[in-house]
Amino acid sequence: MKLFFITIALIGVGVLGIAIKLWAKKGGKFAGTCASQNPHLNKEGEACGYCGKLPENCENK
């Protein structure tokens, strides 16, 4: 039972941290989450598999 409460507390801290990040950011959205913006994930310059953007079309460089 003790492990259950520790697990719930850690998950709660994580959710609280994400909520604070969203609240503190202007516009309330995550910036730079597109895989095409990450040079380590997209070494060939391919389009993002989720949204289809190319690296040169991304607004956050």
Evaluate if residue 61 carries a pLDDT over 60.
no
Give per-residue pLDDT as tens, 18-27. Answer: 888 778 776 6
Task: With cut-offs at 50, 70 and 90, classify the pLDDT of residue 29.
Answer: low
Evaluate if residue 13 carries a pLDDT over 90.
yes
pTM: 0.47
For the segment 5-32, the average pLDDT, to the nearest whole number, is 84
pLDDT: which is higher, 1 or 29: 1
In the chain, count of helices (H) and strands (E)? Answer: 1, 0
* pLDDT number for residue 33: 64
Interior angle at CA 23, CA 17 and CA 40, nearest 5: 65
